[in-house]
Amino acid sequence: MPGHAQGPDGDLIRLQGVSKTYRLGAVAVTGLVDVDLALRRERFSVVAGPSGSGKTTLLNLVGCIDRPDKGRIEVRGTDIAGLDDDRLSDFRARTIGYIFQGFNLVPVLSAFENVEQSLRIAGIAGKERRERTRAMLASVGLADKAAHKPDELSGGQRQRVAIARALVKEPALVLADEPTANLDSATGKQILDLMHDMQSRLKTSFVFSSHDPQLVERADDLVTIRDGRVVEVRRAA
């Protein structure tokens, strides 16, 4: 896959001494406390932990949609602190795909256009963009639903569109925040199978946050987090 570079020591993501605190009104809420973590490339990594433990904060920081109060984050060897807002946007557009718990599809766009939107933002031009979109929708089994708007699709189909949107730009990293939480277990399993299959085929690194035991079982690397601290990292061979 093009552009799937890694850190100098082979890690795709490295966090060193990363802390993050949020303010909710007058209350300071701890997100992460002094986290050191490395995640390997081309793996199915899962960040697990109870609600409020800091899973989403970790994904937000790794996904470059938030900045740490302290510490250093490298994604694909790039220190994200050195990027201004526009460069960070461009970095996300090229490098990172997102799959959201609530799918977050743009309701006025068709399935095809939602997927294509990701390539537009990444600056991929006309013909190539349309061909890649078509191929990706076919890969997730939605070739016949391309013209459908999100509200004409089932939950599972919407999440497939979201997966296609995340993967169509061939990112180095796909982040998924509890991607099966809004799906019934059968659909959740189908979606997991699909993501696993795509990860194997595309060699993309996936990082999930999840409570879902189905997902935890499949993790190559499992990071357990509690009260904003990494308490365990279990790596499969």
Q: Which residues bind other proteins (CB under 8 A)?
A: 60, 63, 65-66, 85-86, 89-94, 96, 98, 100, 102, 104, 106-109, 117-118, 120-122, 165
Nearer to other proteins, 149 or 189 (CB): 149
Q: How many Cα atoms are found within 13 Å in the side-chain-facing hemisphere of 19?
A: 9
CA 107 to each of CA 86, 88, 96, 149, 201: distance values in angstroms, whole numbers, following the listed order: 25, 26, 22, 7, 29
Nearer to other proteins, 157 or 219 (CB): 157
Shortest gap between Cβ of 92 and other proteins (angstroms)? Answer: 4
Pair of tokens at residue 155: 């939950």
Shortest gap between Cβ of 236 and other proteins (angstroms)? Answer: 29
CA quadruple 212, 229, 75, 121: dihedral, nearest 10: 50
Nearer to other proteins, 179 or 220 (CB): 179
Shortest gap between Cβ of 7 and other proteins (angstroms)? Answer: 21
The residue count of the chain comes to 237
d(CA 115, CA 98) in angstroms, rounded, equals 12
Shortest gap between Cβ of 203 and other proteins (angstroms)? Answer: 21
CA 89 to chain CA centroid, Å, is 15
Using a 10 angstrom Cβ sphere, with 0-12 exposed, 13-18 middle and 19 or more buried, the burial of residue 47 is buried
Shortest gap between Cβ of 104 and other proteins (angstroms)? Answer: 4
Q: Which residue has the tokens 């357990």?
A: 224
Nearer to other proteins, 121 or 202 (CB): 121
Nearer to other proteins, 9 or 84 (CB): 84
Using a 10 angstrom Cβ sphere, with 0-12 exposed, 13-18 middle and 19 or more buried, the burial of residue 61 is buried
Shortest gap between Cβ of 83 and other proteins (angstroms)? Answer: 12
Nearer to other proteins, 91 or 216 (CB): 91
SS3 190: helix
